[in-house]
């Protein structure tokens, strides 16, 4: 009996190894990335790339041409449709049927946004309405979505009035984003021209779907020029990137009421060059925030998020490897960051350290004409 026990003890490590099953990934092996771009340069429309989650590699998949300046895109929650603003003086937004398996985009229709130079579009989870920010028009527009994914005529616009301290950049209202709160009870939109973050209640009805709350906005430091927004994963905090001020503002957030608690710079000590802060996102685990800066900076700043109060602590500032780092996206696993470089015609993928938030070496790069927006979608 003693010899049998000794034999079992000797074999048990090998038996255990044989019985262990390989860990199954929580994420699919691949996603699609929909890329919006300006078509005044090398790009001719919207393109789709396949993203491989194990390596971070991206590869060309499909494209649809003859789409005018699809600078910002939104993918519907059901993954069946893609919406893209047509950033021109006329102001239009287009809808496309999306095939996640092949990356094919099929044009559906195009309608007016009732404002010039639309630069941002978002869609609610129930596929009821689109929200478009018209930069030169200085207004936000709400457009209904039909069952087939097509867009109806705008049912509401709210125009901002006023100007800021910078006579060249803030001569009038310049609405930059239209972002739904996580519970989709509110729509917030930034105005670079008047230094305001506006707040509206989202009712979802057919007439006047959004209604300004009281107070209807919060003001930022004069000349800061608010651009994009991001909510913390626990929905308690709002983060706003300031394009002209090259800073991130942190707000306590409660039912459409932001309260400022921190103002943190994106600039290195003594930096004197041109800047243009662009985009802001939070990792899926909610621990880190990233923010890009263009101009002469061409870098991305990394911050840790205090899980107790939402405040930011600077970790590092890293060159992005290209010029004009505009929009970027963090893959659903939180292991890679995909950065679109508008000026140098490239998209570069970097590895992220999930424990420290630091950005590692580039793992993939593709040449794309004037990319300004990258959005992840499911690959069917």
- Residue spans of the domains in the chain: they are 79-94+106-219, 220-319
Strand 288-293 with 92-99, pairing: unpaired
Q: Which pLDDT belongs to residue 24?
A: 55
Q: For 305, phi and psi rounded to 5 degrees?
A: -105, 120
Phi-psi region of 66 (alpha: psi -120 to 50; beta: other; left: phi over 0): left
User: What pLDDT does 195 receive?
Assistant: 98
Contact 200/158 with Cβ under 8 angstroms?
yes
Q: From CA 359, how far away is CA 340, in angstroms rounded? A: 16
Report the DSSP beta bridge partners of residue 92: 86, 112
Q: What confidence score (pLDDT) does residue 229 get? A: 98
Alpha carbon distance 291, 301 (integer Å): 5
Per-residue confidence (pLDDT) for residue 205, from 0 to 100? 76
- Which is nearest to 119 in space by CA: 47, 241, 36? 36
Does 79-94+106-219 carry CATH code 3.40.50.10860? Answer: no
Q: Quote the tokens at residue 88.
A: 């021109």
Burial of 89 (0-12, 13-18, 19+ CB in 10 A): exposed
CB atoms within 10 A of CB 306: 14
Are residues 143 and 154 in contact, defined by beta-carbon separation less than 8 angstroms?
yes
Q: Which residues pair with 346 in a beta bridge?
A: 341, 367
Q: Cα dihedral sign for 173, 290, 49, 81?
A: negative
Q: What is the pLDDT of residue 17?
A: 44
d(C-alpha 111, C-alpha 92), whole Å: 5
What are the pLDDT tens digits along the chain (380 aa)?
444 444 444 444 444 444 445 455 577 899 999 999 999 888 889 999 999 999 999 999 999 999 999 999 999 999 999 999 999 999 999 999 999 999 999 999 999 999 999 999 999 999 999 999 999 999 999 999 999 999 999 999 999 999 999 999 999 999 999 999 999 999 999 999 999 999 999 998 778 999 999 999 999 999 999 999 999 999 999 999 999 999 999 999 999 999 999 999 999 999 999 999 999 999 999 999 999 999 999 999 999 999 999 999 999 999 999 999 999 999 999 999 999 999 999 999 999 999 999 999 999 999 999 999 999 999 97
């Amino acid at each position: 009996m003693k010899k049998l026990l000794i034999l079992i003890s000797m074999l048990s490590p090998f038996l255990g190894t044989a019985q262990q099953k390989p860990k199954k990934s929580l994420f699919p092996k691949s996603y699609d990335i929909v890329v919006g771009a300006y078509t005044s340069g090398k790009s001719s429309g919207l393109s789709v790339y396949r993203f491989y989650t194990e390596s971070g590699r991206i590869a060309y998949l499909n494209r649809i041409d003859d789409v005018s300046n699809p600078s910002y895109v939104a993918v519907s929650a059901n993954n069946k449709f893609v919406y893209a603003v047509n950033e021109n003086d006329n102001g239009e937004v287009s809808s496309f049927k999306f095939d996640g398996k092949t990356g094919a985009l099929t044009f559906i229709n195009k309608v007016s946004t009732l404002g010039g130079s639309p630069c941002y579009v978002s869609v609610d989870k129930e596929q009821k309405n689109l929200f478009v920010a018209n930069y030169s028009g200085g207004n936000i527009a709400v457009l209904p979505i039909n069952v087939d994914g097509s867009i109806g005529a705008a049912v509401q616009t709210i125009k901002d009035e006023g100007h800021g301290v910078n006579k060249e950049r803030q001569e009038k209202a310049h609405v930059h984003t239209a972002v739904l709160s996580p519970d989709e009870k509110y729509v917030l939109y930034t105005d670079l021209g008047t230094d305001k973050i506006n707040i509206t209640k989202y009712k979802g009805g057919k007439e006047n779907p959004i209604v300004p709350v009281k107070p209807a906005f919060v003001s930022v430091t004069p000349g800061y020029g608010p651009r994009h927004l991001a909510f913390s994963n626990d929905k308690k905090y709002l983060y706003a990137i300031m394009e002209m001020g090259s800073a991130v503002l942190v707000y306590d957030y409660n039912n459409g009421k932001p309260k400022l608690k921190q103002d943190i710079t994106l600039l290195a000590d003594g930096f004197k060059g041109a800047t243009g802060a662009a985009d802001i996102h939070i990792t899926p685990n909610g621990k880190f925030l990233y923010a890009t800066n263009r101009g002469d900076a061409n870098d991305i700043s990394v911050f840790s998020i205090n899980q107790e109060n939402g405040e930011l602590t600077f970790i590092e500032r890293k060159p992005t490897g290209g010029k004009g780092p505009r929009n970027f996206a963090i893959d659903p696993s939180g292991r890679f960051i995909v950065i679109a470089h508008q000026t140098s015609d490239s998209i570069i993928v970097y590895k992220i350290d999930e424990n420290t938030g630091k950005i590692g070496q580039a793992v993939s790069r593709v040449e794309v004409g004037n990319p300004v927006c990258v959005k992840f979608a499911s690959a069917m």
